[in-house]
């Protein structure tokens, strides 16, 4: 008997109705996430990474809507439940870490107030116990003099320290899943590394699964167990990080890998550049959405949209996996 995934997303479709018609931002995305696993979601801006995350946690901005598919948390469907029911899940069972910590923290309340209120909302504890837990969490995420800093306001922390507070806030109700949306983008490189190591450690210690959304393949390589490469609202490739990085199967993933500089200086090759840009939502080409930018395009790529298919231990949505002779043309 196979274990029920912690998070199961099946054929997710997200639409944005506009005056000029309906724009499809996510089109048929499916993936599973096991308890304690880190799944990286990577791709260029506009690929659909963040919208996938906000759909899972029920925070799509209107008029955005889930137009198809299912999202299940431990087998329980959560994409079609009421907002009050979703609010109980959000924070308690699913935590969220946003790119800009200032959007997660109320500037008018001390960080202690915010963490203690969240703990008391979701856990059956007294105010004293909630305060002790808040201090312990701030210590765990590396805030010095945590008991004294409970009474500080968000603006009294540096950017890196604010992001540590946000991680503590996301973990304070002991969630099963944390969605981290570009958690290091606004930080200095040295602070980025600290935050990534912190996120890895606290999630491992708490047994929390992480959906890590980023455009930085280096962060994925350092942190994730598996990676989903997104392009134009679909998953182009998904598999174990080591396999996807060492032997990518989708031409888009190959391009992403070729654009990462080597720190060892082992290669004299120039960095590759993927020509063109991601299509706008109102002009996604027929067939494979990557075909205008792909060096391997053949007739089938222009006519039919590929689904994910086996590629070693990974899966990729590319016709050259089944028609290598066509790709040579």
Helix (H, G, I), strand (E, B) or coil at 247: coil
Considering the entire predicted model, what is its pTM? 0.92
Cβ contacts of residue 230 below 8 Å, gap of 6+?
29, 41, 42, 43, 47, 48, 49, 52, 236
pLDDT above 70 (res 183): yes
Phi, psi for residue 23 in degrees, rounded to 5: -100, 130
pLDDT above 80 (res 146): yes
With cut-offs at 50, 70 and 90, classify the pLDDT of residue 190. Answer: confident
Burial of 297 (0-12, 13-18, 19+ CB in 10 A): buried
Helix spans in the chain (H): 49-57, 83-89, 101-104, 111-122, 127-140, 146-149, 159-171, 189-206, 217-223, 241-246, 251-258, 299-303, 324-328
Q: Which residue has the tokens 């609202």?
A: 233
Is residue 105 a contact partner of residue 162, using CB atoms and an 8 Å limit?
yes
Q: What is the pLDDT of residue 264?
A: 55
Write out pLDDT tens, residues 37-86: 999 999 998 999 999 999 999 999 999 999 999 999 999 999 999 999 99
Evaluated on CA atoms 236, 241, 243, 245, the torsion sign reads positive
Cis-peptide, bond into residue 66, ω within 30° of zero: no
Enumerate the domain spans of the chain: 255-329
């Amino acid at each position: 008997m196979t274990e029920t995934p912690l998070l199961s997303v099946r054929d997710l479709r997200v639409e944005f109705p506009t005056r000029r018609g309906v724009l499809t931002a996510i089109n048929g995305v499916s993936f599973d996430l096991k308890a304690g696993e880190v799944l990286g979601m990577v791709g260029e801006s506009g690929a659909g990474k963040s919208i996938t995350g906000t759909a899972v946690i029920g925070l799509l901005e209107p008029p955005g809507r889930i137009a198809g598919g299912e999202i299940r948390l431990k087998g329980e469907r959560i994409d079609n439940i009421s907002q009050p029911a979703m609010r109980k899940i959000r924070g308690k069972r699913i935590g969220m870490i946003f790119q800009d910590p200032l959007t997660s923290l109320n500037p008018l309340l001390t960080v202690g107030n915010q963490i203690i209120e969240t703990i008391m909302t979701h856990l059956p504890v007294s105010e004293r116990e909630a305060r002790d837990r808040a201090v312990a969490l701030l210590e765990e995420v590396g805030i010095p003099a945590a008991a004294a800093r409970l009474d500080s306001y968000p603006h009294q922390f540096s950017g890196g320290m604010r992001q540590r507070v946000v991680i503590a806030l996301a973990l304070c109700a002991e969630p099963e899943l944390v969605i981290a949306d570009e958690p290091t983008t606004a930080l200095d490189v040295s602070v980025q590394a600290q935050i990534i190591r912190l996120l890895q450690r606290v999630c491992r210690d708490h047994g929390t699964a992480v959906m890590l959304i980023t455009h930085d393949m280096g962060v994925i390589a350092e942190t994730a167990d598996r990676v989903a490469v997104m392009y134009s609202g679909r998953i182009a490739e998904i598999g174990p990080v080591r396999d996807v990085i060492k032997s990518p199967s989708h031409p888009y993933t190959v391009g992403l890998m070729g654009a990462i500089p080597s720190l060892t200086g082992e290669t004299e090759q120039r960095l590759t550049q993927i020509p063109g840009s991601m299509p706008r939502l109102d002009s996604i080409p027929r067939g494979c959405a990557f075909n205008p930018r792909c060096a391997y395009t053949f007739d089938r790529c222009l006519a039919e949209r590929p689904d994910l298919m086996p590629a070693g231990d990974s899966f990729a949505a590319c016709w050259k996996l089944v028609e290598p002779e066509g790709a040579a043309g």
